[in-house]
Amino acid sequence: MKLTRTWCIAGLVALSIIVPTVSAQGEAGGPIVVTQDSGALPSGCTPPETAELLMRLADAVTSGDATALDMLFTTDDPPGRVDSADGLAFRWYSVTEGVGNRPWRHVVFYDREPLFPYFAERHQQSERWELIAVDMGGSSSRRPGGVGIGYTIRRSADDLPESLTEFARGKGEIDCVAQKIYVWSMGQDDTTSFGTGCPLPPGWSPGTAVIACSRSQEPGVRTGSNARALVPDFRVFGGSAQLPTRCASAYVTGRLRSALSAFNGGREAVFAGRFAARAVFHPYDPTERELRGRAAIARFADARYEQGTSWTGTTLRAPRRPTVRAFGGVRRKVASYGLGLLLSRPGEALVASSASVAVDCVSGLLHRWTGPPVPA
């Protein structure tokens, strides 16, 4: 059984203990310490979840568990080397041991099939992994739904030269929905330096705890996709049976989930498509210039995605009954909702805010959006 212990460090000062970690083999493991979390990573790729995923990988490599290893890598793409930016299928797994243009050993697999016999051979060499640290941020290959990681692993095996350091470092990418790996590139050389992309707490040393963090926004990497649409404990308040089907809270929740998912995922056309053709959009404050129409809304969403801005819904307050408003020259029923939001950008603190959203009860499209009042 695998439980989770997460320590969260605020300003690298206070620690908050939640629950203990036990490895898949039942041996006591170190806690996970989150030293930086923007809150802008999606479900499946938050710092604790990503650390847990890599700890399961380390356990599986060490124990030679072929079934567990098979479940930790994404499905195959076409055979051979495929560098297309489409999809989150398996791309490659590589390990380089030694330094320079002619390392002691280098292996790379562009297909899944030979990967598992390799792991079996490594188990015969008593290969052991211990996750030390992992940091994560935007996908360098810009694949929607993917998150890039950097990691440090304590790695040993019977056949490794004594000149190699005990630490292996590398990069990879994860499919956040499936919680599976599709890129893994790892190197182990003869340097003695230890490094990680995370801030380190005072008194920490490798092996005392697994360090996990989200990176600050990286130039050239689109990071706005790193937020979930709704928090896990999203709640709806109010509402009544007087609301028509397409203004009812269940329908509107689905509509907003879809819209926020598109906003955070860089799919600006999809986000704008959730609005009526002549919708009015006040992005942050009613005193600012309003945006009209889907094209203007799409441009706004695209610009905010490039900045790494994300909106995550926390609550929804439903009206008891609809009102009648002019809509494209026609009077229709509209329900006005209050939407609680968390505004995030990588490397910055979360900001609690809200927006007012009016939904057309005939089409179910968003008719007017005002807020959130605090710029992200």
For residue 311, what are the contacts with CB-CB under 8 A and spacing of at least 6?
227, 260, 263, 264, 341, 342, 343, 372, 376
Q: Are residues 65 and 204 in the same domain?
A: yes
Specify whether 188 is located in the same domain as 312.
no
Q: State residue 64's pLDDT score.
A: 95
For residues 129 and 194, membership in a common domain is answered with yes
- For residue 17, the model assigns a pLDDT of 27
Are both 179 and 254 inside the same structural domain?
no
Same domain? 207 vs 237: no
Q: Judging by DSSP bridges, how do beta strands 180-188 and 92-97 pair with one another? A: parallel
Helices and strands in the chain, H and E counts: 6, 17
Same domain as 261, residue 202: no
Q: Quote the Cα angle for 251-257-258, to 5°.
A: 95
Model pLDDT, residue 144: 62
Model pLDDT, residue 7: 41
Q: For residue 323, give the amino acid letter.
A: T
Q: Is residue 1 part of a domain?
A: no
Asked if 252 and 207 sit in the same domain, the reply is no
List of residues 6+ apart from 154 with CB closer than 8 A: 129, 130, 132, 166, 167, 168, 206, 207
Tell me, yes or no, if the pTM score tops 0.75: no
- Structural domains counted in the chain: 2
Q: What is the pLDDT of residue 287?
A: 65
Q: Are residues 181 and 279 in the same domain?
A: no
pLDDT for res 218: 47
Which pLDDT score is estimated for 375?
56
CATH of the domain at 176: 3.10.450.50
Domain presence at residue 133:
yes
Q: What is the pLDDT of residue 95?
A: 92
Looking at residue 246, what DSSP letter applies? G
Regarding whether 245 and 170 lie in a shared domain, the answer is no
Domain annotation covers residue 51: yes
Are 235 and 200 in the same domain?
A: no
Residues 203 and 256 both lie in one domain:
no
Contact 44, 52 (CB under 8 A): no
pLDDT tens for the chain, residues 1 to 376: 333 334 443 333 223 222 233 333 333 346 899 888 766 677 788 899 999 999 999 999 999 999 999 999 988 766 655 555 455 788 899 998 887 556 788 899 999 889 999 999 999 999 999 999 999 887 665 556 778 899 999 999 999 988 889 999 999 999 888 899 999 999 988 875 677 778 888 888 898 899 998 875 444 444 444 567 887 778 999 877 788 999 999 999 999 988 998 888 778 888 999 999 989 999 876 666 789 999 999 999 988 887 778 888 889 999 988 887 765 566 778 999 999 998 876 656 667 889 999 999 999 999 999 999 865 4
Residue 329 inside a domain? The answer is: yes
Task: Tell me how far apart the alpha carbons of residues 263 and 271 are, in angstroms, rounded to a whole number.
Answer: 6
Determine the structural domain holding residue 254 and report its residue range: 230-370
Whether residue 202 sits in one domain with residue 259? no
CA distance between the termini of the chain: 40
